[in-house]
């Protein structure tokens, strides 16, 4: 349990602090290894100034990602996300990518390592 100024924080506040910590990391992959092997849920709305480099965990962590939901992606951000997802994501069940870009993406056969056996939603 997290404590702030001697007061126990609610679970929502603890999760918010953890999320804030990861959002401001320059190299989040260095921090991920200290956590137990819990599943990752990646959810967010991108802005023009949002970087996409740290959105998808390193390929070594792809087996822990079970849901990805990103909206507001510009063309370049979507390209980076798709490029990062060329490896298998064996636990992925939900993939929602909403682009604000003008150009529909070209998704290669190597996307998700060519297989996503547990995927239930792809939009």
pLDDT of residue 10: 59
Cβ–Cβ under 8 Å, residues 23 and 52: no
The answer to whether residues 79 and 89 belong to one domain is yes
E-strand ranges in the chain read: 3-4, 7-8, 40-45, 65-73, 94-99, 121-122
Domain that residue 90 falls in = 36-122
* Positive or negative: CA dihedral 30, 81, 41, 65: negative
Show the tokens assigned to 69: 């939901």
The answer to whether residues 57 and 97 belong to one domain is yes
Number of domains observed in the structure of the chain: 2
The answer to whether residues 81 and 54 belong to one domain is yes
pLDDT of residue 5: 45
Low-confidence ranges of the chain (pLDDT < 50): 1-6, 9
pLDDT of residue 4: 42
Query: 24 in helix, strand or coil?
Result: coil
């Amino acid at each position: 349990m997290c404590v702030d100024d001697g007061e126990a924080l609610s679970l929502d506040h603890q999760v918010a602090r953890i999320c804030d910590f990861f959002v401001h990391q320059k190299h989040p992959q260095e921090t991920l290894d200290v956590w137990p092997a819990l599943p990752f849920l990646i959810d967010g709305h991108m802005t023009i100034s949002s970087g996409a480099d740290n959105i998808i965990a390193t390929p070594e962590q792809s087996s822990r990602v079970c849901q990805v939901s990103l909206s507001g992606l510009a063309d370049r951000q979507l390209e980076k996300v798709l490029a990062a997802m060329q490896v298998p994501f064996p636990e992925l069940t939900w993939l929602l990518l909403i682009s604000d870009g003008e150009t529909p993406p070209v998704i290669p056969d190597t996307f998700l390592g060519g297989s996503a056996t547990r995927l239930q939603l792809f939009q």
